[in-house]
Structure 1
Amino acid sequence: MSGIVRIRRASRAVVAAAVLGAAAVCGSVVVAAPAASAAEPSQTSLTVRAPASVGFAGGPVAFTEDITNSGSAEARYNLELKTVTGVGTPPDSIVIDYKDPADGAWRSVLLTMTRGDASVVYEGTVAGLTVPAGGTRKVDLRIGAPMGLPHDGASNGGFDSITLRSDLTTPPHLHDRVEAEATSTIKVTSIGSSLAHVPATAVAGGAPIEFDAVLDNPTPSDYTNLGDVLFVDKHATVQVRTADGSWRTLDKVPGTAPDDPYGVYLQGRDSSLRAGGHLVARVRVSYDATTPTGATGVNPCVFVNEGQPFRGTTMCSTGATVQVQPAATKTPEPTPTSSAPMPVPSSPAPSAPVSSAPTSSAPVSSAPAVPVVPASDGTPSAPVAAPSTTPAPQASAPQAPAADAQLASTGADHTAGLVGGGLVLTGLGAGALWLRRVLRRA
């Protein structure tokens, strides 16, 4: 913004203005006396084009101040610069640079800091600025709020604006006379980080969650010695997607206290971002199976001029909360090693299910062997009646303990023969009974 231009003159100028006012009333132009003209200071003006804002803890922003000498002789000036900020301003918070016209290099203006009850003042001077008669000189300056030194950023304090006062004085008076002055207000804005599209839940030991981590620099300041950090639970693993689409696992840096969350640098330590820059990192976070269930935080912070990890000028923004859920319980499929058949080898009566087959009532009541008898011509014969005397002693053969013991020890290879024999004997016995009933009826 352009500062308000003010021009100061000696008391004689006030007298001259009164004379000119009287002349105007008389309707004529009065020329000042030669003696008075000799005492008049040169006509000087100052135009300040201060930046609208600077970045908090960022680099300095360039601007210009124009000195105009409308007098008839060359004039030499000092440009005295003073900033006023809030009481929370720490040391090394303001920097002002001046571009040397001889070589075009930026040189720091030596500033002194004065702390008052209601404000903090930084003051410095750019001396020896010569302006030819009737000419204008442009002074290249830049101002910033670095909030500390490289790798030694202030961790406390701050302010939201800077009041810049520029005074143009004419040396070598004991008390330099102010020829012109301008006051500007510069806002202090900040770089910031944020998260987008963070899932609400994650599963311990499950698939990772994905979201975007955004770093924005809306300020006119360049940032260096920058750390874009994401704080996560110590059980989490953080990866970022690279330009080729692969995922790179980031190192976790522990905090200073045992219970502090771990931090990862999304772009690495001492990264940078130019004025107006915008970065989006695709991030995925997974939680191992030992992660406690419940709410956990994912929090972004930006650190500038870190002396050690997470110690510097700090700017944190609102994070996200993720509910960590236990791993999903799956129903085990039947396998040879599943829990259901495991007790079978230790069963005290492994043969019980097998020995019950020959004595079961199911094959007796539905005995398909009964129609074997009607296959004859229906007349009584010795071959049919003879089996009726033998089934009784043979039907009990499958019930013998020796047969059971042999089945348990040898396996199912003999089971078919025993069961088949039992069915045949049962069928013969049933046929004899049927034949006896037919004969009685006859």
Structure 2
Amino acid sequence: MSVARVRRTRRTAMVAAAVVSAALCGMVALPASAAVAEEPPRATLSVDAPDSIGFAGRPVEFTETIANPGTSDTTYGLTLDTLSGLGTPEHAITIDYKDPASGAWKAFPLEFHRGQDGVSYSGLLAGPDGVTVPAGGEVELTMRIGAPMGLPHDGASNGGFASIRLHSGVVALDGSWAGLAQDTRTIKTEPLTTSLSGVPATAVAGGDPIEFDAVLDDPTPSDYVNLGNVLFTDPHATVQVQDADGSWRVLEKVSDGIPGDPAGVYLQGRDSGIHAGGTTVTRVRVSYDATTPAGATRLSPCVFVNEGAPFRGTTTCGAEAAVQVLPAQARS
């Protein structure tokens, strides 16, 4: 299979749109003379797509299998078209395929389109040779799809979508662009979750630290990289985390530079990661100095993916925990 990249021009976009439209409409009849001259191309398509992928996570593999029920070796084109919500930004969805010859991953050529009902990424894998399937045989293409929500260290800070509708189509490369087979799947997008467990209801200004667990969970089939697991605290607070050897380490407070915004600490450092299905539990201590005003304060967990500036990336936050700070004289 050889591949010709789709150039990002207005003409190319119009051609790709026409091909996808033909695939969506199903079979397109060949001219009578061509039908008489040779057997029209036929194909079936089987897609084994994931039920879900991680929102802002790494791509997940799947397969698309093209079968040729005809009596002649046939070369086909493969169209892919996604549809997601209006909150989908550019660089939000990626699809790659594994080159059968080299085994290297290559980007499927996708064009970004914003419509009235949603956002689509669409493209055609064809080239001069396309996907050649022997008579009576099949070719399995290894693919992967992801929702990175931006570029490395430049994640989208707003917008999003709950699912991706993936439409796959096999088209004839005999000049008719006839749609020979199609498949449509809906792939959910699921985020990381972050939470605090066992946070004491009270703390004493200038007193002993409170202890609790910060839990980061990846329930998705996607790995995550370029991750910042952050705990936002009161400006009077000092945060420590327990290392593997049982010792405690003070974390540096980080500000986003905007007056009035709370400072945060990175519980695993910047650009950390978590594997698909994994859970990271961090034991945390928070102490409040003697000048902390009495009253309610909050601990807020958030996760940022592909941060640029601190706390600017694709964001997921968990439930806040309220802590009542008692005056220093309340110490026993």
Range of TM-score over shorter length: 0.7 to 0.9
Normalising to structure 2: TM-score of the pair? 0.88
Normalising to structure 1: TM-score of the pair? 0.66
Equivalent position of 2:67 in the other structure: 68
Are 1:123 and 2:105 counterparts? no
Alignment CA distance shift 1:329-1:87 (3 Å): closer
Q: How does 1:105-254 map to 2 (within 5 A)?
A: 105-127=104-126, 128-173=130-175, 175-254=176-255
Equivalent position of 2:5 in the other structure: none
Equivalent position of 1:271 in the other structure: 272
CA contact (8 A) 1:205 1:327 kept: yes
Q: Distance in 2 between matches of 1:177 and 1:293?
A: 73
Q: Distance in 2 between matches of 1:229 and 1:297?
A: 14
Deviation string, structure 1 residues 361-402 (Cα, Å, up to 9, x no partner): xxxxxxxxxxxxxxxxxxxxxxxxxxxxxxxxxxxxxxxxxx
Deviation string, structure 1 residues 92-117 (Cα, Å, up to 9, x no partner): 10100010111111111121111011
* Deviation at residue 42 of structure 1 after TM alignment: 3.4
Deviation string, structure 1 residues 386-421 (Cα, Å, up to 9, x no partner): xxxxxxxxxxxxxxxxxxxxxxxxxxxxxxxxxxxx
Amino acid aligned to 1:185: T
Amino acid aligned to 1:188: T
Q: Distance in 1 between matches of 2:140 and 2:232?
A: 47
Equivalent position of 1:411 in the other structure: none
Q: Distance in 1 between matches of 2:39 and 2:51?
A: 36
Q: Distance in 2 between matches of 1:268 and 1:63?
A: 32
CA contact (8 A) 1:7 1:179 kept: no
CA contact (8 A) 1:7 1:181 kept: no
> For 2:57, what is the secondary structure of its paired residue?
coil
Q: Distance in 2 between matches of 1:8 and 1:231?
A: 53
Which stretches of structure 1, 4 residues or more, deviate above 4 A after TM superposition? 6-12, 35-40
Q: Which moved more, 1:148-157 or 1:257-266?
A: 257-266
Amino acid aligned to 2:144: R
Structure whose residues are more often helix by fraction: 1
Q: Distance in 2 between matches of 1:234 and 1:254?
A: 10
Higher CA-based Rg: 1
Q: Distance in 2 between matches of 1:250 and 1:182?
A: 50
Equivalent position of 2:4 in the other structure: none
Alignment CA distance shift 1:329-1:309 (3 Å): closer
Higher RCO, 1 or 2 (CA under 8 Å, sep at least 6)? 2
Equivalent position of 2:11 in the other structure: none
* Deviation at residue 329 of structure 1 after TM alignment: 5.7
Q: Extract unaligned runs of 5+ from structure 1.
A: 1-5, 13-34, 332-442
Amino acid aligned to 1:284: R
Equivalent position of 1:48 in the other structure: 47
Equivalent position of 2:8 in the other structure: none
> For 2:87, what is the secondary structure of its paired residue?
coil
Are 1:319 and 2:320 counterparts? yes
Q: Distance in 2 between matches of 1:215 and 1:329?
A: 34
Q: Distance in 1 between matches of 2:189 and 2:284?
A: 30
* Deviation at residue 126 of structure 1 after TM alignment: 2.0
Q: Distance in 1 between matches of 2:210 and 2:25?
A: 64
* Deviation at residue 64 of structure 1 after TM alignment: 0.1
Structure whose residues are more often strand by fraction: 2
Alignment CA distance shift 1:317-1:259 (3 Å): same
Q: How does 1:306-345 map to 2 (within 5 A)?
A: 306-328=307-329
Count of residues in Structure 1 that have an aligned counterpart in Structure 2:
306
* Deviation at residue 125 of structure 1 after TM alignment: 2.0
Q: Distance in 1 between matches of 2:331 and 2:301?
A: 36
Q: Extract unaligned runs of 5+ from structure 2.
A: 1-23
Q: How does 1:250-265 map to 2 (within 5 A)?
A: 250-265=251-266
Q: Distance in 1 between matches of 2:196 and 2:294?
A: 22
CA contact (8 A) 1:162 1:188 kept: yes
Deviation string, structure 1 residues 71-92 (Cα, Å, up to 9, x no partner): 1100001111000001111111
Q: How does 1:391-402 map to 2 (within 5 A)?
A: none
Deviation string, structure 1 residues 154-183 (Cα, Å, up to 9, x no partner): 01110000000001011141x511111110
CA contact (8 A) 1:87 1:118 kept: yes
